[in-house]
Amino acid sequence: MRQSSRNNGKPFIVPQPIRKNGTGGPDFGPRDIMRDIQNPDLLVPPVTDAGLLPNLRMSFSDAHMQLNHGGWSREITIRELPIATTLAGVNMSLTPGGVRELHWHQQAEWAYMIWGRAQITAVDQNGRNFITDVGPGDLWYFPAGLPHSIQGLAEGCEFLLVFDDGHFSDLNTLSISDWFAHTPKDVLSANFGVPESDFDCIPSDQVYIFQSEVPKPAENQAVQSPYGTVPLSFSHQLLAQPPLKMSGGSVRIVDSTNFPISTTVAAALVEIEPGAMRELHWHPNNDEWQYYLTGQGRMTVFAGNGAARTFDFRAGDVGYVPLAFGHYIQNTGHETLWFLEIFKSDQFEDISLNQWMALTPRDLVQNNLHLGPHTLDALRKEKSPVVKYPPYTYYPK
> Which active-site residues does the annotation give?
341
Type of residue found at 117: R
Give the whole-angstrom CA distance, residue 160 versus residue 311.
22
Contact 338, 271 (CB under 8 A): yes
Type of residue found at 91: N
Farthest CA pair distance, the chain: 85
Helix (H) or strand (E) holding 140: strand 138-142
Q: What is the CA radius of gyration of the chain?
A: 24
Type of residue found at 282: W
Give the whole-angstrom CA distance, residue 124 versus residue 231.
10
DSSP class of residue 87 equals -
Peptide bond into 96 cis (omega under 30): no
Q: If DSSP states are collapsed to H, E and C, what string results for 216-259? A: CCHHHCCCCCCCCECCCCCEEEHHHCCCEEECCEEEEEECCCCC
Backbone CA torsion sign across 191, 193, 197, 198: negative
Q: Which residues contact 190 (CB under 8 A, 6 or more apart)?
A: none
SS3 177: helix
Give the whole-angstrom CA distance, residue 3 versus residue 6.
8
Give the whole-angstrom CA distance, residue 327 versus residue 342.
15
Give the whole-angstrom CA distance, residue 26 versus residue 16.
5
Contact 264, 164 (CB under 8 A): yes
Picking from 246, 243, 238, the residue whose alpha carbon sits closest to that of residue 385 is 246
Picking from 162, 199, 190, the residue whose alpha carbon sits closest to that of residue 287 is 162
DSSP class of residue 86 equals S
